[in-house]
């Protein structure tokens, strides 16, 4: 399991499951514990409260510099961008291409920049 510091674990859970399509592994709202995973993936992602000063500063620093806290793969970036646009997702910057493939960054509404990436073929 790995973790992603978020400003609101419950809101992050809704965004990552309802908008990005992750699936719930563990949901204990009374304890602010939400663990998700990508379809077909075994590794859990803990949506961790960013209430510790060090964690909060780290998350805020990444966001301020527009550095993605997480990279999520897709097989079709064009299709994914259309779907995310229809869902009202805020894009951060423009789509770009480099030797690794094409990507675009989005705002997860909970304090993070997330990169959606399609690998070169």
pTM, two decimals, is 0.93
pLDDT tens-digit map of 13-22: 999 999 999 9
CA 95 vs CA 2, 13, 92, 103: distances in Å: 27, 25, 9, 6
**What's the topology of domain 2-119?**
2,3-Dihydroxybiphenyl 1,2-Dioxygenase; domain 1 (3.10.180)
The Cα–Cα gap between 44 and 75 comes to: 21
The Cα–Cα gap between 108 and 35 comes to: 16
Q: With 90 as the cut, is the pLDDT of residue 79 above it?
A: yes
The Cα–Cα gap between 24 and 17 comes to: 7
pLDDT tens-digit map of 103-117: 999 999 999 999 999
**Signed CA dihedral, 18, 117, 97, 112: sign only:** positive
Domain ranges of the chain: 2-119
pLDDT tens-digit map of 21-41: 999 999 999 999 999 999 888
The Cα–Cα gap between 78 and 10 comes to: 29
């Amino acid at each position: 399991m790995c973790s992603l510091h978020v400003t609101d674990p419950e809101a992050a859970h809704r965004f990552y499951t309802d908008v990005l399509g992750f699936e719930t592994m563990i949901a204990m709202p009374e304890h602010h514990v939400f663990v998700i995973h990508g379809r077909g993936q075994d590794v859990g992602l803990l949506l961790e409260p960013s209430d510790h000063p060090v964690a909060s500063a780290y998350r805020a620093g990444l966001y301020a510099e527009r550095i993605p806290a997480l990279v999520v793969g897709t097989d079709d970036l064009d299709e994914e961008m259309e779907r995310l646009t229809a869902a009202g997702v805020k894009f951060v910057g423009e789509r770009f291409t480099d030797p690794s493939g094409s990507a675009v960054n989005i705002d997860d509404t909970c304090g993070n920049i997330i990169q959606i990436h399609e690998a070169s073929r």
